[in-house]
Amino acid sequence: MQKERDYVRPPAVAGLFYPAERGELERECMALLERARGDLVTERRKRPFGIISPHAGYTYSGFTAAHGYATLSRGQFKRVIVVSPSHREYFDGISVFSGKAYSTPLGEVAVDSGLREAFMETAGEVAIESRAGHKSEHALEVQLPFLQLQLGEFTLLPIVMGDQKRRYCNTLGEVLAALAKDETTLVVASSDLSHYYDYDTANDMDDVCIDDVARLDPVRLLEDIESRRCEACGGGPIVALMMAARKSGMTKGEILHHCNSGDTTRDKSAVVGYLSAVVS
C-alpha cells in the first residue's frame, strides 16, 4: 500500500489537450486568463464555493474555462477538490486517487492525504481509494494548469465518478458539503455539455442546463439529464457541487461564459457545448 501511496500520476494528455512544454503552457494559459478577465465586467469579491469548468482541449474550451479560473487569486485556497467523470473506463462507485500527487508540465500537485482520509470515512461504501478512472482521464487533468497558475501552492483531492447514478450524486453532495465548509477549500466540477448535435439544437439543450445551474437547482438538473432534455458528461459532478452549495446556504449560480466547438471550428454540424460558472 505504501508503494501505491508514493505513486505520482504523470501527465496523460499534455501535448494533446494542452501544450506539453512548460513555457508554452504558461503563455497559453495566461493569455486565455487575460482575455477572460476582459469579459468579466465587474471584479468578483465574494469567495467562490465552487466552479463548473469544461474539459476539452484548450483550443476549444480553454477560453471558457479561463473565465472561472480568472475569478481566483493567488493563495486564496489551500485545498482544491476536483471532481470529474470517467471517460475511458467504467467502474462502480467514486474513485479517490490513491497516489501521492498529480503531475503536469508546471510541476507536481500533492494529494491532500488528510482530506482523502476524511472523504473515505464520510463517503462510506460508495467510495474507493484507487487509480481507477485516474490513469488516462483528461477531464481532471486539464483543470490543473489553470489552478497551478492562479493559486500557486495548494493540495489536491482528485475524484473521478465511475458511475453517476442518483444515489452517488446525493452521497457526493453530502460529503462535499461537509469537507468544503472552511473558506480555504474550493470545489471544481469538470464537465462538457451537449455532444454532437447541430449548433442550434446544442444551444437549445445547453440552455436547459444553464438555466438549472443559474437557479442552483440540482434536482431539476438531474431530471433534465435523465429525461434527455439536456446533456452533461459530468452531470454527476455538477449535481454534487450544486447539492453541496445548497446545503451550504447558497441559492444561485453565476454563468460566466458558454460556447460550443462550432464557435471555434466554424463547423456547426456536430458540436460540443462548454460552460463556465461559479457558485458563491
pLDDT tens digits for range 22-33: 999 999 999 999
Per-residue pLDDT, 4: 85
Per-residue pLDDT, 164: 97
User: What is the residue whose three cell numbers read 474555462?
Assistant: 65
148 Rama sector, left if φ>0, alpha if ψ -120 to 50, beta otherwise:
alpha
- H helices of 79-234, in order, are 113-123, 138-141, 144-151, 166-179, 199-214, 218-226
User: Is the predicted pLDDT of residue 43 greater than 70, yes or no?
Assistant: no
- pLDDT band at residue 168 under the 50/70/90 scheme: very high
Q: How far from chain centre, in Å, is Cα 44?
A: 20
Please state, rounded to an integer, the average pLDDT across all residues of the chain: 96
Per-residue pLDDT, 45: 59
DSSP 8-state code for residue 136: S
Which residues does 278 contact at the CB level (< 8 Å), separation at least 6? Answer: 44, 48, 50, 51, 52, 68, 71, 253, 254, 256
Mean pLDDT of 108-121: 98
User: Which pTM does this prediction carry?
Assistant: 0.97
DSSP 8-state code for residue 135: S
Mean pLDDT of 195-214: 98
How does pLDDT run across 46-93, given as a tens digit for each residue?
A: 789 999 999 999 999 999 999 999 999 999 999 999 999 999 999 999
Mean pLDDT of 38-43: 74
Per-residue pLDDT, 70: 97
Per-residue pLDDT, 40: 85
What fold is seen in the domain 2-40+48-279? Answer: Protocatechuate 4,5-dioxygenase; Chain B (3.40.830)
More confident: 39 or 242: 242
**CB-count exposure of residue 212 (10 Å: 0-12, 13-18, 19+):** buried
